[in-house]
Amino acid sequence: MTMKTLLAGATLALGLATGAAADGHEPTTVGFVYVGPIGDGGWTYEHDKGRLAVEEAFGDQVETVYVESVPEGPDAERVMTQMALQGADLIFTTSFGYMDQTIAVAEKFPDVKFEHATGYKRADNVSTYSARFYEGRAVQGHIAGQMTESNVIGYIASFPIPEVIRGINSAYLHAAEVNPDVEFKIIWVYTWFDPAKEAEAANVLIEQGADVILQHTDSTAPQAAAQAAGNVVTFGQASDMAEFAPFPRVSSIIDDWAPYYIARTQAVIDGTWESTDTWDGIGPGMVGIGEITDAVPAEIKASAEALVESLRTGEYHAFTGPINKQDGSAWLADGEIADDGTLAGMDFYVEGITGEIPQ
Amino acid sequence: MDLSSINPVLLLASLMVAATPILLAAIGELVVERAGVLNLGVEGMMITGAVCGFVVAVGTNSPWLGFLGAAIGGALLSVIFGFLTQLLLSNQVATGLALTLFGLGLSALMGQGYIGIKAPEFPDWHIPLLGDIPVIGPIVFQHDPMVYVGLVIVAGVWAFLKYSRAGLILRAVGENHEAAHALGYHVVRVRMLAIMFGGACAGLGGAYLSLVRVPQWTEGMTAGAGWIALAIVVFASWRPGRLLLGAYLFGGVTVLQLNLQAAGAAIGVEYLSMAPYLATIAVLVIMRAGRAPGSLGQSFHASR
């Protein structure tokens, strides 16, 4: 437990004390459980922007509390229980690894609403929400496949879960589409946030010939490593990471949680909250594509923007057949579109990616 | 698997860089423990050093001043530990753990305005002549200066403990503080100096991460490096030579496992990720663990 955890707890207690004193107009309390520090510049940073947007939208009606750097596992259960006990009405748990803990705590507190990000287990008082990041990965792959000169693209992967595998597949498919010779080198770092390890992984990939680095980890360390190397292209992950634009960062995937958080908080205030499963992409605005910089040649930029547009309107799906699985067996027939169930549980590479998914 | 994509020269070169933060923090802790004090706050001092170094380097635009600031920051934090354990005789284990938690919180607070800012550049040193030797040159003689500062500190500590009179006094204080006191040595003063040296070294190790390795400030960026430094001190049986070996071994296997993964090795990723820890433990245990300093972790007061 860090100092901030203690402070957050103290704030929560204080908030409750003052809230109870108010005459019947208790503010709605919304809790957030973060996997990294707010200052990670990526995943958690964007969730916290969503929290601040909630505060701004509702003013005195809503109080928000948060605990950062909560490890995935039993500790998370303790933090959620604490939040629920201290009167939170709605709790957002913002990492895949909180899934079982969220379900367990939700069972004990049927009156508290829970929202779990990127998971697939729901209950009467547990909703799930996620963004179709793979749409953004498609755009990255499209640009990366054309920007690479060594035809080696490095990929810093976190944990072997469907979300990450989906991203690798989507990026690979769209890179191979524009550049059949492209090869992916994938390193699993088994962490969402460890700047030193991410930097080391990026350096190793660069040493082994990669001139584009895609990352599914939350810090900006790989961006800095690419910048030091000089001629390596990167993409912002979860957050814009614009401080590395126009080069090495040539574009980014931005998570925008604010509209969803505001809508769900409103639903709790109105008493209309229901358990749902939300999975939004570029169209509804949950996934944003950061500005494609001038380091990308104009024609590549134009075709990438056309791809973004077709994903936005829904005219094109990032997983459209024909696609084979890694072992060569058919997955999607020509023109067939992947169903959400398969995507949500994706545990295989598509044809052309070498290496195995760790079990 | 395509092992040919791994370049052994680059691998060995990045080993030296990967090991440096742990090496710096561990050599400081070694001196502290040889003086009979167990400071578990290495992680907290490292992260404080990382943020202090970053703040100073950005403010002055000089990485060297940054490292100086990191050493001072780490030493200041360790003075808190020294004051509590040496003068107020608080429990060293509990105080050390508290120091880590405090350091993490303090650094997050200090670093608020520094997220996303870049550190001033700290170029590699291409040592003339030596750096041009084929194979050995790129491996050993083309790093940033802090890699060599780390090595000089290790060599200095070794010589200090082995040959100098002050080193002998420090070891005496660590082995048996009552005997050292009876001989007229000022136990608390020696220990305070050792603790401050340890804090300064941990601060340098942290700043190496925020100024060279990553190089930028992010909260919690040491991510457990301080604990590994503590473990390496024990496994190195409190001897500087073995400590160097342990740190390089750990750094080497860390880099190697990433290289094997990128080359598509058919070994499970989980085993590869475990490898640095297992290899370090195995080798240093096989090398016959030494005895801990006799008074390690015990409080001293002249009245007893």
Residue A83 lies in a domain: yes
Q: Is A209 on the interface with B (CB under 8 A)?
A: yes
Q: Which residues of A touch B123 (CB under 8 A)?
A: none
| Tally of domains in chain A | 2
Amino acid at A162: P
Residue A261 lies in a domain: no
| CA distance, residue B290 to nearest chain A CA (Å) | 31
Confidence of residue A2 (pLDDT cuts 50, 70, 90): low
Cβ atoms within 10 Å of B258's Cβ, excluding its own? 28
Residue B221 is nearest to which of A4, A38, A196, comparing CB atoms?
A196
Q: Which residues of A touch B11 (CB under 8 A)?
A: 207
Residue A202 lies in a domain: yes
- State whether residue A159 is helix, strand or coil: coil
Distance CA B179, CA B188 (A): 13
Judgement on whether residues A299 and A161 belong to the same structural domain of the protein: yes
Containing structural domain, residue A172: 133-255+287-344
Judgement on whether residues A78 and A150 belong to the same structural domain of the protein: no
pLDDT in tens, A38-52: 877 788 989 999 999
Provide the edge-to-edge strand list for the sheet that holds A126-131: A62-67, A28-33, A90-93, A113-117, A126-131, A277-280
Tokens of A56: 């701004």
Judgement on whether residues A228 and A333 belong to the same structural domain of the protein: yes
| CA distance, residue A163 to nearest chain B CA (Å) | 18
- Which segments in chain B show pLDDT lower than 50? none
Residue A262 lies in a domain: no
Q: What is the pLDDT of residue A15?
A: 47
Residue A194 is nearest to which of B112, B216, B223, comparing CB atoms?
B223
How much is the ipTM here? 0.76
Q: Is B6 on the interface with A (CB under 8 A)?
A: yes
For residue A274, pLDDT beyond 70: yes
Q: What is the pLDDT of residue B304?
A: 58
What percent of chain A is modeled with pLDDT above 70? 93
Q: Is B116 on the interface with A (CB under 8 A)?
A: yes
Residue B219 is nearest to which of A1, A40, A358, comparing CB atoms?
A40
Pairing of strands A183-188, A152-157: parallel
Judgement on whether residues A204 and A310 belong to the same structural domain of the protein: yes
Q: What is the pLDDT of residue A187?
A: 92
Give mean pLDDT, residues A76-83.
Answer: 94
For residue A22, pLDDT beyond 70: no
Q: Of A105, A131, A157, at which residue does a domain stop?
A: A131
Q: What is the pLDDT of residue B266?
A: 67
For residue A84, pLDDT beyond 80: yes
Cβ atoms of B71 and B203 within 8 Å: the answer is yes
Task: List, as ranges, residues 179-238 from B with C-beta within 8 Å of A.
Answer: 209, 213-216, 218-223, 225
Q: Which residues of A touch B259 (CB under 8 A)?
A: 204, 207-208
Using a 10 angstrom Cβ sphere, with 0-12 exposed, 13-18 middle and 19 or more buried, the burial of residue A118 is buried
Q: What is the pLDDT of residue A20?
A: 42
Distance CA A201, CA B268 (A): 17
Judgement on whether residues A179 and A201 belong to the same structural domain of the protein: yes
Distances in whole angstroms, Cα of residue B48 to Cα of each of B85, B121, B209, B286: 20, 21, 12, 35
Q: What is the pLDDT of residue A3?
A: 52
Residue A279 lies in a domain: no
Locate tokens 């959400």: which residue? A340
Check B5 against A188: CB less than 8 A apart: no
pLDDT in tens, A277-294: 998 888 888 898 988 999
Tokens of B152: 């000089």
Q: Is B62 on the interface with A (CB under 8 A)?
A: no
Judgement on whether residues A171 and A224 belong to the same structural domain of the protein: yes
Q: What is the pLDDT of residue A6?
A: 52
Confidence of residue A21 (pLDDT cuts 50, 70, 90): very low
Judgement on whether residues A219 and A241 belong to the same structural domain of the protein: yes
DSSP H stretches of helix in chain B: 8-34, 42-60, 63-82, 92-110, 136-140, 145-163, 165-175, 177-182, 187-208, 225-235, 240-262, 269-286
Residue A354 lies in a domain: no
The CATH code that applies to domain B3-114+145-286 is: 1.10.3470
Residue A75 lies in a domain: yes
Q: What is the pLDDT of residue A25?
A: 58
Cβ atoms of A241 and A221 within 8 Å: the answer is no
CATH number of residue A175's parent domain = 3.40.50.2300
Judgement on whether residues A184 and A82 belong to the same structural domain of the protein: no
For residue A132, pLDDT beyond 60: yes
Task: Share the mean pLDDT of chain A.
Answer: 88
Q: Is B101 on the interface with A (CB under 8 A)?
A: yes
Question: In sequence order, which residues have a C-beta less than 8 Å from that of residue A183 and are 6 or more positions away?
Answer: A151, A152, A153, A354
Check A358 against B268: CB less than 8 A apart: yes
Residue A37 is nearest to which of B219, B258, B263, comparing CB atoms?
B219
Q: What is the pLDDT of residue A23?
A: 42
Q: Of A131, A157, A179, at which residue does a domain stop?
A: A131
Judgement on whether residues A227 and A151 belong to the same structural domain of the protein: yes
Give mean pLDDT, residues A195-204.
Answer: 88
Amino acid at B21: P
Q: What is the pLDDT of residue A260?
A: 93
Comparing A96 with B284, the larger pLDDT belongs to: A96
pLDDT in tens, B182-237: 999 999 999 999 999 999 999 999 999 999 888 888 888 888 889 999 989 988 88
Check A199 against B213: CB less than 8 A apart: yes
Distance of CA B74 to the CA centre of its chain: 11
Q: Is the pTM of this model over 0.90?
A: no
Check A355 against B264: CB less than 8 A apart: yes
Check B214 against A3: CB less than 8 A apart: no
Q: Of A95, A112, A131, at which residue does a domain stop?
A: A131
Cβ atoms of A317 and A282 within 8 Å: the answer is no
Residue B218 is nearest to which of A39, A204, A228, comparing CB atoms?
A39
Q: Which residues of B touch A199 (CB under 8 A)?
A: 213-214
**Rg, Å, chain B Cα set:** 20
- Of A348, A282, A280, which is closest to residue A139 (Cα–Cα)? A282
Residue A40 lies in a domain: yes
Q: Is A165 on the interface with B (CB under 8 A)?
A: no
